[in-house]
Structure 1
Amino acid sequence: MEARVNFQEKGQGALKVLFSMGGYLKKSTIGHQLLELVNFRVSQINGCAYCLDMHSKDLRAMGETEQRLYGVSAWRETPYYSERERAAFAWAEAVTHCHVSEEVFQEVSNHFTEEEMIDLTFSVNNINNWNRLNIAFQTVPGDYRVGQFG
């Protein structure tokens, strides 16, 4: 199956914005591995096979365990994640669903600085953009290589 449109080739001008956001987020004090876990969780919610393939490979390369990867979709019921990671997952889900409760806001505030909350929100929005592009243009998963996009 071939993608309808190869937006990664044809949309270079527009994609510069998303790539620059990714570059900015790599410098965040949140930590690259946690942001990748958030990307993985949001991609699960959105059903983006391409992004799940990409972020699972990146996370494994960072040393993430299979147990933790498999448990992300059920993070509330598993003991594998820190309180900070749990707060990030709750925030990612709330922002993705466009409904941030006071409880979730307070929880994330307990674990992240205001700047980190902004970065986390931009990260969630960024992966939602990528998910929607890959789903809309039916980007075929499987051939991503770790570090392929810098």
Structure 2
Amino acid sequence: MTAPEPRLNLRQLSRDNYAAMLKLTAVVDQAAVDAGLEKPLLELVRIRASQINGCAFCLDMHTKDARHAGETEQRIYALNAWAETPFYTERERAALEFTEAVTLVHDGQVPDDVYQRTAKVFSEPELAQLLWVATVINAFNRLAITPRVPVGGYVAGDPSSI
């Protein structure tokens, strides 16, 4: 099977919107780090949401960024089954469970028990930023899936390769 043909080039067709999303990502990343969230954790969140949404472009990008940030192959490969492995910390597990609930919000609400478990592990500023990270990657998943952004050309640490 070959990769589907791209549909739209959003970078060219909506430059200002695209630039605003990139700026939003930079602001969210900085706020997340400033709040105390670790860069590898942010990448795990982005990979997990992208797995759920089936976004090949974002999976390619964020697995590369995770490796660049020091993440191990084992933990990246097992992420789809994180709850069944011993590879993740309590903090990472809470973030992943929260990310799944935010990503699958169409199923209802973010359940109170998930929110409460997450709030026990993260401070309110951290939790607020975690929500932003999950929300932005979900938006980017949709912006990559719908126009069928070509996969494979992203270079970790090089934003110009997006």
Whether these two folds match at TM > 0.5 is yes
Q: Distance in 1 between matches of 2:158 and 2:57?
A: 13
Q: Distance in 1 between matches of 2:70 and 2:129?
A: 23
Q: TM-score, normalised by structure 1?
A: 0.94
- The aligned counterpart of 1:37 is 44
Q: Distance in 2 between matches of 1:68 and 1:21?
A: 27
Describe the superposition over 1:59-79 as per-residue Cα deviations: whole angstroms up to 9, x where unpaired.
111121111001110000000
Matched to 1:129, the amino acid is: A
Please give the root-mean-square deviation of Cα atoms over the aligned residues, in Å: 1.3
Q: TM-score, normalised by structure 2?
A: 0.88
Question: Paired residue for 2:153, among 131, 143, 146?
Answer: 143
Q: Distance in 2 between matches of 1:18 and 1:113?
A: 26
Counterpart check, 1:106 vs 2:109: no
Describe the superposition over 1:27-62 as per-residue Cα deviations: whole angstroms up to 9, x where unpaired.
222122111110000000000000000001111111
Extract structure 1 runs of 4+ deviating beyond 3 A: none
Matched to 2:67, the amino acid is: R
Q: Distance in 1 between matches of 2:46 and 2:20?
A: 17
Question: Paired residue for 1:58, among 20, 44, 65?
Answer: 65
**Aligned ranges 1:1-150 → 2 under 5 Å:** 2-27=5-30, 28=32, 29-98=36-105, 99-149=109-159
Percent identical pairs in the alignment equals: 42
Q: Show structure 1 runs of 5+ residues with no match.
A: none
Q: Show structure 2 runs of 5+ residues with no match.
A: none
Q: Secondary structure at the match of 1:35?
A: helix
Describe the superposition over 1:92-145 as per-residue Cα deviations: whole angstroms up to 9, x where unpaired.
000111131111011110111111111111111100111001100001111111
Matched to 2:87, the amino acid is: Y
